[in-house]
Amino acid sequence: MRWRAMGVGLTAAVAMIGLAAPATATTTCQDVSVPAQLDLLLTVQVHGRLCVPAGADKVQLLVHGATYDSRYWDEPVEGNLYSYVREATVDGWATLAVDLVGYGQSTKVPSATLTATTQALVVHQLIGKLRAGTIGGHAFPRVLLSAHSVGGAEAVIETSLYNDADALAVSGMSHMLSVPQLLQTFTSGLHPVTLDPSPLATQYDPGYLTTVPGTRGTLFYGPDPDPVMVAYDEATKGAISGTEAADAISLGFVLPTSRAVHIPVYLVLGDSDKLYCSAVLGTDCTDNASLDAQERPYFANASSFTAVVVPDSGHDVNLSPNAVSYETALNTWADTHI
């Protein structure tokens, strides 16, 4: 398994935050801060990490899920084995991994001002700026919007409104949540940041939620997680606004908002995703065909639709020991659809 090389301890891993090496010698990476409007009155700064291979004219806008940030796509653990950015840039794609508003190094705002819809409006602005060349001085005529979990719900909302990316890839989401697991997550897996022993309690108002200490391995990982990755995940967890979570569940996961999506779609779930995978009160994650049969009607107007189940993976498919199979397949799909 990929995690057998255990040379990087948790302390060293945390110290490496933000120090991930470029994918190749010809790829340049830089931190960027992009101005955006959360609404008509509130201006915010969106932090991101832009990595551009030499000559790249295509870019993936990478949007993380709840309680994560841009590092989800480029975790500095185990020699960067869990770096989707590396896989994409090796394939010739530029990447912009962003911290959504309220996360990471982006502007922190009152919880009540933050919803999945306002996040979607910010994503729309980022796509326009990537095409215009106002982020890092690079203009990209081809854009893949790739998003995870709650970020996937926000990407679906954004695409249903604008269809402004060339293709959409979402992971860790479907339209059939496991209701019992969702209730369990909100009752025992999440709590207000004000109750958390981490520094988050001083950074956010009580309307923000984070995971209860020691629960991330159970919530987000599959049957054989890398313990170093799980420990790093616990040490660097973030928070989500309660209003953002409610909006994402209703508009992104439950309602058929996705029927307004007209571009190619690639949807991925791990077969051990506890938030979704249940044939009784959730999604049937038995195989690709089962997932396709359940999700295709929700994307009936997409120009193409592909559903993939990743074996032995939990909710966070990018942090699974076999993530490279998902990463390679997604980039191969993107190469043929954009």
Task: Give the pLDDT of residue 281.
Answer: 80
Q: So what CATH class is 2-337?
A: alpha beta
List, for residues 119-173, the tens digit of each pLDDT value: 999 999 999 999 999 999 999 999 999 999 999 999 999 999 999 999 999 999 9
Can you give the residue ranges of every domain in the chain?
A: 2-337
**41, two tokens:** 């009155």
Task: Give the pLDDT of residue 25.
Answer: 53
pTM, two decimal places: 0.92
Q: Which of 4-13, 203-212, 232-241, 300-309 has the lowest mean pLDDT?
A: 4-13
List, for residues 295-327, the tens digit of each pLDDT value: 999 999 999 999 999 999 999 999 999 999 999
